[in-house]
Structure 1
């Protein structure tokens, strides 16, 4: 049962032995070359870091000038520190060959920092033109720093040209050594692989033939493989699986029959549910019936009853609309008036509605069924509990880029905890009754519709009333996507 494992371990040990020899031979040459290369590369990286840091400083300065925020300011300060650190790193690169160029290079970095500070100062003083001029100068200096960096790198290349040649020669030697080692390893691995594969492939071929027979559905043929390793155990296991599959066929047939009967029962249940739905009252049929009753009441002289039925029918038709489609503020005001007509018929003189509407903004888009649940909340908590009723004020006002909709009442007011619950979008006791759409649901849909959180304010004083203020943008952020 361990023959294959022994073969694998033998092959592995041979490969490891060869790799150890290769590693020992190459490590010395590689380490020597790497140390020389790292010393030169570090000089180039230090010079390049100045260019990268200066360009990042210009980018962060531009971001801050376009949007002076605390985050951009912190990023700008971090870039300044990076430039200073890069300047300190290149001091060790100064030598007799580049003394003049390095002095000029340091002065350029100092000039860049000073110009950046002046642009930042002018921006804080709101001198936009002066700040822009300094930014342009800083950009020019940054570009010149990049050019000077290339000049210094070119000088470094000339200085270390001889060392580069030595590194290239060593690399060629390592390349030749690697080729010979690769040929040796390939030859040895071919010998070992042939011996290893020969002892495994024959039993595997027999096992494959048996698997093909099983794939054709012939489960009556026994699986036998003559081998003295793990493949023999695999063949025995495979044969037991063949027997188990035969036994499973009968169970699957029985389960299929049961599944068929269960599916038939489900179909009967669905037919019963559909029949039940057909027996329910169709809302559109109810809407048409209310219209007929309204006309009949009008013909019989009951004009108030006719108007009330018209309002109920209009409210029902509006509630049948999809809530994911936007409507105009004009449509919302119409359904609001219809709802209040119904409530006036209910509360008579106890309900006092005061409306102040700027007609020019009634074309603004708003989610369907937004105003009615809020007004309904005011009716439930202001008019119903009070014996003398109460007042409700409805206003649509112009507030610059937004249209302000105010719904105010003189009821009992709400606690701060209740206001926070509504603003978080949690359902509570302020849920509407006629539409099933609550106050908190309105808050969620408004925020989703306009893509912003600041769309509603609630001010309330216990015992004095509540003021709900909706801040509706005149133009949505995603106009054209509906």
Structure 2
């Protein structure tokens, strides 16, 4: 499948290669012009240097004739060497001048150098007649060199003029070429940009139109068809599948909502046939007051505990209360069970009052205490002890519910902590809430996985430990 990124990379490299080829051609042509100009300039410099060196060599020769000293001889030989080097460079530098003219010019320089050497030699021999004659020849040769140099410069200037005209034509051609390249590049860039963007915007317009139909609730519209083989086709196919799935889910939800409506009507009729729990709560309050007026204080206290327990359980199950309120409910539950089982059951409270203001989910402690009573103590003839202990650590408030009852096996503990025992778990008599329900609500309330620890062994009792974060 072709990708949009792949297309962009191909287009980018095509443009880069075209521009690099153009830049290289311009560079090569410019480099040729620069080389030609540099060669011509070097020839001018060389001719000028030969003219100067020959004039200076004649002057030094004449100075040596006048004063044959060591310093004049040294200066003569240094200048002579420079002139010889320039003469050697003529053969590699001049390619535009005819070989005859060039050879005559070289011979003239060699004659001049030879005449200077003869003049110096006869000065050393102190032959006045000979060095006078050769000095004169040296002067004549120097004059011929100056004239020949000027002629060669004129020839070079003539060639340079044609070269300059050619360079002007090339510059003009370069100007038109750059204008043509700019216009062509702009047209190609606009064409490819329009072509590439159209390949993206057309499918996006189709998808946008289809998305607007979905937002209006038109889920049964025509599928979006895209011919390209890039990510947009995948996006269109995915959108079509999503719209089809949403349409199916909406129809399923409609059917399910109708079924839920029928079920709720049945539940409502069923609830209408039950006793209103608030009526039961008000009745218990009335009985408590009557028992108190008849001086049956134990009965009155018992009815008040039952009413408190009922009132607490009727509250919002998703709400939160202070830990102090949960402890008060547990005390009322203790009173009810104490009345039922007398001396068989013992309850102990060990609480740190500074920890009781922390907020917890409603119906957290009472189901744990009831669980300890039902599964640990109730079936034992000798009874048992249940201890509620509340203390704090640096980061959390810890609540422990301990019984000395039947205990649990490791497999049961694992099932409870992994919340996989919901189907087989016994629930409380008073609230209908089991231990798994309490654990899961605590995890959701604190957004923590580790909120409960269970220590237990068969016939050695159970300790359920709640770890309630302070923050």
TM-score (norm 2): 0.46
Larger Rg: 2
TM-score (norm 1): 0.45
